Amino acid sequence: MRGTSLVRRLIIAVILSQLLMAAGLLAAGEWFTRRQLLTAFDTALRGRAATVAASVRYNESGPGVIFDPALVPPSADRRHPDRYEIWERIPGRTGLIRVASSTPAPPVAVTNAGGYADFRIGGVPYRGLLLRDLPVLDTEEGLRAPLPQLTVYYASPTLDLQQRVTALAIAIAGSSLVLLLLAWAFAAWAIRRGLRPLRQLASQAEQISVHNWAFEAPDPARTTAELAPLASALERMLAGLQAAFRRQHEFLADAAHELKTPVAILKSSLQTLLQKPRQAQEYQESAEAALEDVERLEALLARMLQLARAEQYADSGAPAEAPVPVPATCEAARGRLLPLARARAVTLRLEDGAAGAEGELAVAADGEELELVWTNLLENAIRHTPAGGWVAIRCRRDGGDAVVEVQDNGSGISAEELPRLFERFHRGDSSRSRETGGFGLGLAICKAIVEAYRGAISVASQPGQGTCVSVRLPLAAGGGRQPSVAEQRLEV
């Protein structure tokens, strides 16, 4: 399917607007010109009718009036003569007496005095005027009343007027056409020049690939008000895509590394075991060591599946859940981590504000997933808190949100590590052993689960003073714990 050209559409829009304007100017110019010429024509027509009336004088040799045709003004159009007719009326008497008439006489098309009428005679347009009760301008002595009054009907051809209007319309149309052609040419040039930054921006964007993420919007695009937001949005989008692409590569590399190590250890142990015959006790010990490696590998795969499921929920939205009381999930997570805290001589407490708030602090989420979040946060806090220290979990209401805080007085986190804290496979302490260091997926899973339920997670820490992780989740409309809907979970 052939794409439409933005330049062509803009030029067509300009052309149509110019045509509309030219048509309006032509119509307005013709109407105004016709009105002005018709007003002048009517004034001249009235003057000619009055002149014809002045050609009537009293008869010196007898009663009545006579008409002197020598005083009639010549016709304005020599090809088509003017036409007139004059009647005499004596006040108090009925009937009209014809005094004079042109040859041929005009048809009487006007019945009201002072009115105008348009008509045609032999295909020639005429405009007529009727004047009544005009006095005889000639003066004689000894005239007896009542004096006669005149009725004059005068018509002149309007062919010249129409020709002048037509000529003016043609002149306006021709001038408008020339101006339109110039305007179209200028509009095409200006639009193409104005869209040049957009073409440059598209050319820069075409060069983006998985091997080339460099993108710099051209200066004309940055300085154009309409294109500046688009250029900024493209830069932000490409930066986000590049970061996501880099994280994906890092995740694959880290996952391969994490999977390779236990598999290599397991393979090495089995190869060593098969090099020579051994005692039953040696086979037993090697099998137990291999089982530990398999269990670690299984734990890593389980964590990766949890992260994939949580990230899918964060992208597409978690399934609808019944309200779950947050304090109950906090208490369950604390009970699960008490043995670890006691083994490390760390006090693990549930502070005031969580107990007795189940009816108020309920969120629409899966209880097992919330417990997983609190468990991961508490486990991290316990492992980073020295013997004799403490870890506290508290929950409270803040407006329309439930806020859960996990705080410790451990070693804290440096400012350089805080931005990467939720990255997958990231371990803040590279010196920690594989046995105590985990996989670096716990906080990434927590973040994905919290965002899947439209929440937010943040960390505040000072080295040597401890860390506080805050989770904020929107409150549900109702409270009370409901059965889990784990059967609706994604099968990965």
CA distance 271 to 68: 145
Cβ contacts of 166 within 8 Å, gap of 6 or more: none
pLDDT at 389: 92
CB-CB neighbours of 374 under 10 Å: 25
What is the distance of C-alpha 192 from the center of its chain? 23
- Tell me the C-alpha distance between 122 and 84, whole Å: 16
- Look at residue 306 in the predicted model and tell me its pLDDT: 67
Closest CA to 116 of 44, 62, 17, 60: 44
Predicted pLDDT of residue 201: 79
List the structure tokens of 230: 């688009």
Q: Which domains does the chain have, with CATH numbers?
A: 6-166 (no CATH), 228-312 (1.10.287.130), 320-488 (3.30.565.10)
In sequence order, the 6+-apart residues with CB closer than 8 A to the CB of 56 are: 65, 66, 67, 68, 86, 88, 99, 100, 136, 137, 138, 150
Sequence-ordered list of residues with C-beta below 8 angstroms from that of 318, at least 6 positions apart, any chain? 365, 366, 452, 453
Q: What are 471's two structure tokens? A: 């989770």
Backbone angles phi, psi at 466, to 5 degrees: 105, 180
The parts of the chain modelled with pLDDT lower than 70 are 1-4, 62, 108-114, 141-143, 210, 247, 250-255, 257-259, 261, 300, 303, 306-321, 352-360, 424-440, 478-492
Tokens of 279: 């005692």
Task: Name the token pair of 151.
Answer: 């009725």
pLDDT at site 338: 92
Q: Which amino acid is at 235?
A: E
Question: Minimal CA–CA distance to 481: which of 395, 362, 397?
Answer: 362
pLDDT tens-place string over residues 192-220: 777 777 777 777 777 777 677 777 777 77
Question: What kind and span of H or E run contains 159?
Answer: helix 159-194
Task: Name residues whose C-beta falls within 8 Å of residue 403's C-beta, 6 or more positions apart in sequence.
Answer: 395, 396, 397, 470, 471, 472
Distance, CA of 153 to CA of 131 (rounded, Å): 6
